[in-house]
Amino acid sequence: MHVVRIVVLDADFCKPGDCSKECIRFCPIVRTGTEAIKYDPSMTVPIIAETLCTGCAICVKKCPYRALKVVNLPDELEELCVHRYGPNTFKLYRLPVPREGMVVGLLGPNGAGKSTSLKILSGEIMPNLGLYDAPPDWKSILKFYRGSELHEYFRKLSENKLHVVTKPQYIDEAPKRITGTVREILSKIDERRAIGEVSDMLSLGAIWDKDIHALSGGELQRMAIAAVALREADVYIFDEPSSYLDVYQRMRMAALVQSLAKASKYVMVAEHDLAVLDYISDQIALFYGNPGVYGIVSKPHGVRVGINIYINGYIPDENVRFRPYAIKFHLSPAPTEWRSEDVLLKWPNFTKVLGDFTLKAKTGEIHRGEVVGIVGANGTGKTTFIKVIAGITKPTTGKIAEGGIKVSYKPQYIVPNTDRSLREILNSISPALLADPWHNEEIYTPLDVAPLLDRAANSLSGGELQRIAVATCLSREAKIYLLDEPTAHLDVEHRLAVSKSVRKVAEKIGSAAFVVEHDIVANDLLADSVMVFSGEPGRSGVAHPPQGLRKGMNQFLKGLGITFRRDPDTSRPRVNKKDSWLDRYQKEINEYYYAEVGGEED
């Protein structure tokens, strides 16, 4: 079989001035006199000729910064190359196909090409078909796609007949470019004259007169979604719209996005919350490959089939296994019977008053080896409770036992206010951590932190920051680990890795963990028990004591009026459509989370 060789050199890692250009010194092709690797002082990084590279991987092993990757692929795939940014950079093969009147969901790991695909389909960049040194014009692109479903889409895009609006992946840049209150900003862009309807669906009334610079992450996310939904467009693109939203807000957001998929409108959503993606999409496009090196887009699949394929890690119609394991779910976990001697921390009734907000926490306890998932609407005091347990803030009434219990805390919002690398941070905790086999096997390898070890924290993306924050939190020696929304901006694989790592740490050292999490699927993989927070968002909150996963999730979802069923093939939680027969039946029998019924919805 003939192969095409992909060589990727990450400019963020490569430091040719510091490594004595190891890749050049040890390359066997260069040593024969052939200029396989070019470098001169005017270049920021070397350029490696893929046509001359033999794939020996000596340079990969010699590079002290792990900046190089070499991958062989069948050369038949090269005919499907859609885009490449430059020499020795990421390659994308195939594109998802937008469909009029449908929501097309994109599912795959970070770095596999979802954002690149959305930039191409939005017209932000033109697909260069891999010819980065001589990019084709629209005529050549349309010829390449002649006879395919994408031809008509690109024809309209090339003729400026498609108006595209996009909600970007990261929304924290918005306050740097926009000023004003939520009302002022949204009123200016209300092209559809739907501001009242959109405001009701996203519950924007409470933040209507707040300045954009005073918004929390969840509030900023809802405003960004509203800003897209209010525009009169032909193509609506949403990149990770559920980050920082609670479960109820995610379902309302999903309903709003679905309402945009009218005849002649295209809607595309990249999302890592499987329950939301399942609920929001009409079709699924899967992304797989080697993150940061190359990405391949699958053929379109139905929603249930597509997500189940992703969970199983095998695409039958392409005969491709892209993950060596399947993600496993357990249908009805038996509640754990904790012994009195296992109690690690017991807290009394306490209250915490913050301005106009009051949190009332009922007495409860957490045990050795227990992972407690914390669920509830935004603004009901989940983060406040975590900070009280962490000792960051004191309760207004009541008292938490002080001393004797070491805690490790990962905050909700991660501010990269240091230029220290992860290696320096971990070494400051303990110089032995990176050499410890257990930490490497159970935390650092699953969270894929090796490529990030020598990068400054303030140079990392949101997902990368999240991974190193979780890794740092779990690396500290503690009896109680407190993680506030640890899966935000993470892909499905890393969400699974976080769930496993938290459980492994709790079991290994006899510690316990509180985890604030809005992703129902991640909670299902993660938690032994659940703390439900109820109340009036922004005004009052009640923290109920931990209870079994099934009982706790049932109580939580009943308060939201949302029901979940179990997929018969994978046992993953799936949201029932509102007022479907299964939704009505489960509400009737008071089973909002684990329904003992078979089959699928009509």
CA distance 583 to 333: 22
So what's the pLDDT on residue 329?
77
Contact 593, 550 (CB under 8 A): yes
pLDDT of 1 higher than 70: no
| Element spanning 494, H or E | helix 492-509
Residues 6+ apart with CB under 8 A from 253: 201, 202, 222, 225, 241, 242, 245, 276
Which of these, 530, 548, 417, 425, lies nearest to 475 by C-alpha position?
A: 425
Structure tokens at 191: 């092209």
DSSP 8-class letter at 361: E
So what's the pLDDT on residue 403?
63
Residue 419: pLDDT band (50, 70, 90) is confident
CA distance 490 to 236: 23
Contact 236, 267 (CB under 8 A): yes
Residue 435: pLDDT band (50, 70, 90) is confident
3-state secondary structure of 174: helix
Instruction: Label residues 325-348 b or e (16+ Cβ within 10 Å = b).
Output: eebebeeeeeeeebeeebebbebe
Size (the chain), residues:
602
DSSP 8-class letter at 402: P
pLDDT of 325 higher than 60: yes
So what's the pLDDT on residue 598?
52
Residue 340: pLDDT band (50, 70, 90) is low
So what's the pLDDT on residue 402?
64
CA distance 538 to 160: 44
Please return the burial class of 115, using the count of CB atoms within 10 Å of its CB with bins 0-12, 13-18 and 19+: middle
Contact 243, 489 (CB under 8 A): yes
CB atoms within 10 A of CB 251: 21
Q: Using a pLDDT cut of 70, give the percent of the chain over it.
A: 96
* pLDDT tens-digit readout, 234-261: 999 999 999 889 888 999 999 999 999 9
3-state secondary structure of 50: coil
CA distance 394 to 360: 13
So what's the pLDDT on residue 474?
93
pLDDT of 347 higher than 70: yes
So what's the pLDDT on residue 285?
96
So what's the pLDDT on residue 331?
64
pLDDT of 599 higher than 80: no
Which of these, 497, 519, 509, lies nearest to 443 by C-alpha position?
A: 497
Structure tokens at 490: 């993470």
Contact 471, 483 (CB under 8 A): no
So what's the pLDDT on residue 314?
92
Using CA atoms, how far residue 312 sits from 111, 113, 226, 325, in Å, is 20, 21, 35, 7
So what's the pLDDT on residue 533?
94
Contact 120, 127 (CB under 8 A): yes
pLDDT of 545 higher than 90: yes
* pLDDT tens-digit readout, 376-414: 988 899 999 999 998 888 999 888 876 668 899 998 877
DSSP 8-class letter at 181: B
Residue 521: pLDDT band (50, 70, 90) is confident
pLDDT of 142 higher than 90: yes
CA distance 409 to 217: 19
So what's the pLDDT on residue 73?
82
So what's the pLDDT on residue 573?
86
Quote the pTM value: 0.88
Distance, C-alpha 524 to centroid of its chain: 16
Overall average pLDDT of the 146-169 stretch:
92
Residue 225: pLDDT band (50, 70, 90) is very high
Mean pLDDT (the chain) is 88
DSSP string for 12-35:
TT--TTTTT-HHHHH-HHHHTT--
Overall average pLDDT of the 524-545 stretch:
90
Which of these, 389, 408, 426, lies nearest to 481 by C-alpha position?
A: 408
Which of these, 343, 330, 387, lies nearest to 570 by C-alpha position?
A: 330
So what's the pLDDT on residue 153?
94
Hey, what domains does the chain have and what are their CATH numbers?
3-80 (3.30.70.20), 99-125+163-286+299-321 (3.40.50.300), 341-549 (3.40.50.300), 563-602 (no CATH)
Contact 59, 27 (CB under 8 A): yes
Place of tokens 């496009």: 285
Overall average pLDDT of the 137-152 stretch:
93
Residue 600: pLDDT band (50, 70, 90) is low
> Lowest-confidence range among 37-51, 136-150, 461-475?
37-51
DSSP string for 218-275:
HHHHHHHHHHHHTS--SEEEEESTTTT--HHHHHHHHHHHHHH--TT-EEEEE---HH
Overall average pLDDT of the 445-457 stretch:
84
